[in-house]
């Protein structure tokens, strides 16, 4: 493992595949379900069932993938090998999903969605675990995942801009949805081979330990004996659940409670992610100054406060105050995502010291699972509550004040509470800069003695 500072070119190459991966992840959640249900005619019930079951099965794949990656040994690199293996199925499934024609069957959607999710899981897990190997330095890991997060948000923003193209180009309403989906599809078709090729060719992967790891479910469960692992996984789940609730209810809240038009709400979403992109480097700098866990705690507190600040917005639909509010809300967006992954890289050293084996793949499989669970639970938890409160998903629904109050509590209160709890949990985190330096010294002594 390397302690030298990686160049910006190397980190840009490493992060490049995040652009198509993030551009795929957004429509898989936001655009494709509605597109297949309505535009392609499969129906809400069928599409909902397919997406739900494929997603649930996909959550269980990560530990298996992590174990396989940890046991892989090739001259090309264990994580780079898996990233390369996931490239072709990601590309092919993207083509079939984004360029499907009306009249496709439910089997068609089931097969290509399953392939896409499996390839997506392979690539995301391989790349995030690969990042932990690029440096063992405490501060450099924050910088590595800072580039990773910057590329992720860039991919999301690019997909959102492409989704808005029909409005900008005055495409006929009957063709607008297909135009948006296929525009995002072309981004994935072009960017996947280009960015994956750049990353695989130009970014290195240090050689893994010579010994192969043998892994069982007991090893996976046993990782939770490590206090730092438990803390990071719990905080990551809280963040993903909180941000998942914000994403799921964003349009509902601004359109129904604050009376912002649908078009302007889309503008607010773009502003939110743009703010997250601009302020992403801030969290790397704060982690260097105050340590990672304290920076994440600050980000969690700011996320909670920014949600509470939305209560003060006028309900007149005025775009100006709403833009200022979402700029503030976007400032801490990147904090948890990049710094918790940098923290897990430090934990991987601790696990290797205490257990004698490298479990990097398994550790990052945990974070992959919490990301998926958070987004799935956000919809599965909030939508039934809204329905029971009498909230109408259709724009012309007559919502009672009680239903809007429930919507406000879920959108404002739930993420704020989760983030504040996460911030408090991190205050007693122990694996900081000094402890990590001691772990590296012990590992170096052990490796020198054979």
Per-residue pLDDT reduced to its tens digit, 230-270:
999 999 999 999 988 898 888 889 988 999 987 788 889 88
Task: Give CA separation, 178 vs 72, 99, 174, 350, in Å.
Answer: 41, 9, 8, 49
Do 311 and 333 belong together in one domain? yes
- The whole-angstrom separation of Cα 89 and Cα 79 is 17
Of the candidates 230, 179, 246, the one whose C-alpha atom is nearest the C-alpha of residue 370 is 230
Average pLDDT for the chain: 89
Is residue 158 one of the residues assigned to a domain? no
Model confidence pLDDT, tens digit, residues 33-88? 878 887 888 887 788 788 878 887 888 899 899 989 988 888 888 999 999 999 99
Do 186 and 300 belong together in one domain? no
Q: What is the CATH number of the domain that holds 6?
A: 1.20.1250
Do 15 and 118 belong together in one domain? yes
Q: Write the DSSP string, 43-108.
A: -HHHHHHHHHHHHHHHHTHHHHHHHHHHH---TT-HHHHHHHHHHHHHHHHHHHHHT--TT--HHH
| pLDDT band (50, 70, 90) for residue 394 | low
Do 332 and 404 belong together in one domain? yes
Do 276 and 178 belong together in one domain? no
Q: Quick one: tokens of 420?
A: 């504040």
Do 71 and 131 belong together in one domain? yes
Do 234 and 127 belong together in one domain? no
- How many structural domains compose the chain? 2
Do 282 and 199 belong together in one domain? no
Do 415 and 275 belong together in one domain? yes
Q: Over pLDDT 70: what percentage of the chain?
A: 95
Q: Which residue has the tokens 């959607």?
A: 109
Of the candidates 338, 328, 346, 337, the one whose C-alpha atom is nearest the C-alpha of residue 432 is 346
Do 127 and 246 belong together in one domain? no
**Residue range(s) defining the domain that contains residue 14:** 1-143+164-212
Mean pLDDT value across residues 311-316: 90
Do 225 and 202 belong together in one domain? no
How far is residue 222 CA from its own chain's centroid?
A: 25
Of the candidates 115, 79, 82, the one whose C-alpha atom is nearest the C-alpha of residue 96 is 115
Q: Quick one: tokens of 350?
A: 């601790």
Do 76 and 198 belong together in one domain? yes
| pLDDT band (50, 70, 90) for residue 282 | very high
Per-residue buried b or exposed e for 334-372, using 16+ beta carbons within 10 Å of the residue's own CB: bbbbbbbbbbbbbbbbbbbeeeebbbbbbbbbbbbbbbb
Judge whether residue 323 has pLDDT over 60: yes
Is residue 375 one of the residues assigned to a domain? yes
């Amino acid at each position: 493992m390397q302690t030298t500072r990686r160049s910006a070119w190397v980190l840009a190459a490493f992060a490049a595949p995040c652009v198509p991966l993030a551009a795929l992840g957004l429509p898989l959640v936001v655009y494709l379900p509605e597109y297949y249900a309505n535009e392609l005619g499969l129906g809400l019930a069928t599409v909902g069932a397919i997406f739900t079951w494929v997603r649930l099965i996909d959550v269980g794949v990560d530990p298996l993938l992590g174990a396989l990656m940890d046991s892989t040994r090739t001259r090309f690199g264990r994580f780079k090998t898996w990233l390369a293996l996931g490239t072709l199925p990601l590309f092919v499934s993207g083509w079939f999903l984004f360029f499907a024609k009306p009249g496709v069957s439910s089997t068609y959607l089931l097969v290509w969605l399953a392939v896409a999710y499996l390839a997506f899981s392979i690539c995301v897990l391989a790349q995030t675990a690969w990042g932990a190997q690029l440096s063992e330095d405490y501060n450099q890991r924050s910088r590595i995942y800072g580039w990773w997060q910057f590329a992720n948000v860039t991919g999301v923003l690019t997909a959102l801009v492409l989704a808005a193209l029909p409005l900008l180009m005055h495409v006929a309403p009957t063709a607008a949805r297909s135009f948006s989906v296929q525009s995002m599809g072309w981004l994935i078709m072009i960017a996947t081979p280009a960015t994956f090729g750049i990353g695989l060719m130009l970014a290195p992967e240090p050689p893994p330990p010579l010994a192969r790891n043998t892994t069982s479910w007991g090893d996976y469960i046993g990782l939770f004996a490590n206090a730092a692992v438990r803390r990071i996984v719990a905080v990551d789940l809280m963040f993903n659940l909180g941000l998942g609730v914000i994403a799921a209810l964003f349009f509902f809240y601004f359109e129904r409670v604050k009376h912002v038009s649908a078009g302007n709400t889309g503008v607010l979403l773009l502003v939110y992610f743009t703010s997250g992109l601009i302020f992403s480097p801030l969290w790397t700098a704060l982690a260097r100054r105050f340590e990672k866990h304290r920076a994440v705690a600050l980000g969690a507190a700011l996320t909670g406060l920014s949600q509470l600040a939305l209560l003060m917005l006028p309900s007149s639909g005025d775009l100006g105050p709403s833009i200022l509010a979402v700029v503030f809300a976007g400032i801490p967006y990147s904090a948890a995502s990049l710094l918790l992954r940098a923290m897990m890289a430090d934990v991987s050293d601790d696990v290797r010291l205490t257990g004698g084996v490298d479990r990097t793949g398994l550790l990052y499989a945990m974070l992959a699972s919490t990301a998926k669970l958070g987004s799935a639970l956000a919809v599965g938890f909030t939508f039934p509550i809204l329905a029971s409160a009498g909230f109408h998903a259709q724009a012309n629904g007559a919502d009672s004040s009680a239903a809007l109050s429930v919507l406000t509590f879920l959108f404002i209160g739930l993420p704020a509470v989760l983030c504040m709890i996460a911030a408090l949990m991190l205050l007693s985190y122990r694996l900081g800069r000094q402890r990590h330096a001691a772990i590296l010294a012990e590992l170096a002594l052990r490796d020198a003695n054979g």
